Amino acid sequence: MEEKRCPLCGQENHCGIVNGQKDCWCMTESFPKEILEAAPKDQCICQKCLDTYNED
């Protein structure tokens, strides 16, 4: 399923909502506008890509 894959790297994004949980790791994170614009609105970015983006 595409919604379980990060659109930036193709790895599993570990989305809690897609996996049937009440919360997701991303709900407590801050995402820069640029990284959100690089991904489709219906796919979650993985934590590794967010961390890599924030390091640069």
The mean per-residue pLDDT over the stretch 27-38 comes to 93
Cα–Cα distance between 34 and 6 in angstroms, integer? 15
Sequence-distant (6+) residues with CB within 8 A of 5 are 11, 12, 13, 43
User: What pLDDT digit, counting tens, does each position of 37-56 carry?
Assistant: 999 888 899 999 999 998 87
Other beta carbons within 10 angstroms of residue 7's beta carbon come to 17
Model-level pTM?
0.83
User: What pLDDT digit, counting tens, does each position of 7-17 carry?
Assistant: 999 999 999 99
Pair of tokens at residue 21? 């949980």
Cα–Cα distance between 16 and 18 in angstroms, integer? 6
